[in-house]
């Protein structure tokens, strides 16, 4: 370990000890134990079989999506790096934009634009610090809908929520009415 790395570790241990009220050695042991647990979880989640299955699932959906070919090429290359990010997320990838450009044959600016487009479509999230998470648009909808359905008290201030809900309902009805009118005029339903 370099001197700077050693100093950073010592500072982290001192901070942990100060926050928890433990001794320096106890804090160091706790940090090492947590690192060991994370490594074990990562090893279990990132088995070659699990990553191959995750990649196949992602590619099956991504390759049939309506995306430009250059975006698909970038996502295909990134999918080969599943599980390489810092965290235990199996969809996490670590790859700089320069490395991705070199592997795809695109120029760096074109690679960036392809990643922005993929992010706008929901196929990549948070491409920062050379790390990203590959996602499938809408894959988390059911999970969050379930959380919302199980939440007991969603409205905290009914006096504030009620008028807003009525306004949204009126505007939605007006938009649907306008859309129906436009559709009727342009499809010949009004003749």
pLDDT tops 90 at residue 58: no
Question: Could you tell me which of 39, 132, 119, 17 has the C-alpha nearest to residue 82?
Answer: 132
92 phi and psi angles, rounded to 5 deg: -80, 140
Token readout for 144 is: 């969050």
Question: Could you tell me which of 83, 149, 75, 166 has the C-alpha nearest to residue 117?
Answer: 75
User: For residue 134, what pLDDT is reported?
Assistant: 86
User: For residue 167, what pLDDT is reported?
Assistant: 93
Distance between CA atoms of residues 11 and 17, nearest Å: 10
Task: Tell me the β-bridge partners of 124.
Answer: 134
Tell me the per-residue pLDDT of 2-46, one tens digit each, with 9 for 90 and over.
566 678 889 999 999 999 999 999 999 999 988 888 777 766 666
pTM check: above 0.85: no
The structural domains of the chain, with segments of one domain joined by +, span 3-45, 48-134, 155-191
pLDDT tops 60 at residue 181: yes
Tell me the per-residue pLDDT of 86-145, one tens digit each, with 9 for 90 and over.
665 667 888 889 999 999 999 999 999 999 999 999 998 877 778 888 888 877 777 778
pLDDT tops 80 at residue 52: yes
Q: How confident is the model at residue 57 (pLDDT cuts 50, 70, 90)?
A: confident
Q: How confident is the model at residue 159 (pLDDT cuts 50, 70, 90)?
A: very high
Which one-letter DSSP state was computed for residue 187? Answer: T
Map tokens 């992602």 to a residue. 58
Q: What's the CATH number of domain 48-134, 3.40.50.300, 3.30.110.30, 1.20.1250.20, 1.10.10.10?
A: 1.10.10.10
Most confident of 17-21, 173-177, 187-191: 17-21
Q: How confident is the model at residue 62 (pLDDT cuts 50, 70, 90)?
A: very high
User: For residue 29, what pLDDT is reported?
Assistant: 93
Distance between CA atoms of residues 55 and 58, nearest Å: 5
Distance between CA atoms of residues 64 and 146, nearest Å: 27
User: For residue 5, what pLDDT is reported?
Assistant: 65
């Amino acid at each position: 370990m370099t001197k700077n790395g050693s100093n950073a570790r010592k500072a982290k241990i001192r901070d942990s000890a100060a926050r928890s009220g433990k001794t320096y050695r106890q804090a160091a042991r706790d940090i090492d134990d947590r690192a060991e647990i994370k490594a074990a979880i990562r090893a279990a989640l990132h088995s070659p079989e699990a990553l191959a299955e995750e990649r196949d699932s992602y590619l099956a959906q991504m390759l049939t999506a309506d995306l430009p070919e250059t975006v698909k090429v970038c996502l295909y290359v990134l999918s080969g790096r599943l599980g390489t990010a810092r965290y235990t997320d199996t969809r996490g990838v670590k790859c700089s934009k320069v490395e991705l450009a070199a592997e795809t044959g695109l120029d760096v600016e074109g690679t960036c634009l392809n990643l922005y487009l993929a992010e706008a479509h929901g196929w990549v999230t948070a491409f920062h610090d050379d790390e990203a998470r590959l996602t499938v648009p809408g894959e988390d909808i059911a999970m969050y809908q379930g959380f919302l359905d199980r939440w007991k008290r969603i409205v905290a201030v009914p006096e504030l929520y009620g008028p807003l809900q009525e306004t949204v309902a009126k505007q939605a009805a007006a938009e649907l009415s306008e859309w129906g009118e436009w559709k009727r005029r342009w499809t010949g339903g009004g003749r």
